[in-house]
Every structure is written in C-alpha cells, then in structure tokens.
Amino acid sequence: MSPSCILSNEPLDPAKALADFTNMSEGQGAIASFTGIARQTSRSGHAVSGLFLDHHSQLTQESMQHIAETARQRFSVGPVLIIHRCGAVQPGDPIVLVAAASVHRRAALDAVDFMMDHLKAEALFWKREETETGQVWIEPTEDDYAALARWQ
C-alpha cells in the first residue's frame, strides 16, 4: 500500500480529509493525525500577514513520498497520508495534515511524529513569512533538527 502525498494550492479541509482517510483505513485499529496551522505571529513576535511556500513540484513531491514511505515501513503501519499546502497561505489556515493508520495506536502515533519531524527539517519547501517589517525566509530551527535526531 503506497502512501498518499498531496501538494495543494487550494485551502485544506482537515476534517474532510481525515474522514476520507478513516473511511479508506478499514481494518485498522488506530488512526493518528496532526494538523499544522499557519502561525499568526513570527518567531520574532511580529504579526504575520501571509506565508508563502515555494516548492519544486517533482522534488517536493518526491521528498514527501520518501518521508511517508519510510514511516510506513519503519513503523509497519497501514495507510499514511500527507497533505501539504503550497503557495500563498493565510495566518490561521491549516497548512499540513499528516495521518497514519495501524493495528495499534503506538505505531500510528510514532509514524505521524516521525513524518512531521522529517517534514519540518527535510521536506523541500522554501517558506517565506510576510510581516509589517518585511519578508523573512523561514529555516528549520535547532529544535527541529534535535527532534529529527531522535529518529537516527
């Protein structure tokens, strides 16, 4: 069963996507998910008026697919899902949904955590925040890399 990875320029409806994922995950005993929301405040404390996620459609899709497939195999889970916004995103909008289904909860929870840590630090996105002080490119933080190191 291959992972489902979607890049979307359109608004994300996490509730509908999760309901669809649940319906296709028949026979699994657990579904875990994470929804990320675009922040309204920058790391420096300024109000964010917009976020832009640039990407290379093929390379970004391949990086997401690799993360999802690695999680599926490593944790022996059933279906996995990554939906990630690209393009212009407004503060408060859902930006990412990650889900995993498995026979038992621990594998699903670990797979979701693994995928999010890898998406934050390794997925091929270039993020730019717009604030009242100008545009700022967002890079992974030391905390993002520390979270990623847990899986080594």
Domain boundaries, the chain: 4-149
The pTM score is 0.94
**Mean pLDDT of all residues in 140-150:** 94
**Mean pLDDT of all residues in 137-150:** 94
Minimal CA–CA distance to 38: which of 14, 67, 2? 14
Give yes or no for a contact between 91 and 49, defined as CB atoms under 8 angstroms apart: yes
- In the structure encoding, which two tokens stand for residue 51, read together? 């976020």
Q: Round to whole Å and give the CA distance between 18 and 83.
A: 10
Q: Round to whole Å and give the CA distance between 92 and 112.
A: 21
Give the distance, in angstroms, between the CA of residue 141 and the centroid of all CA atoms in the same chain: 16
CATH number of 4-149: 3.90.1170.40
- Flag whether pLDDT at 1 surpasses 90: no
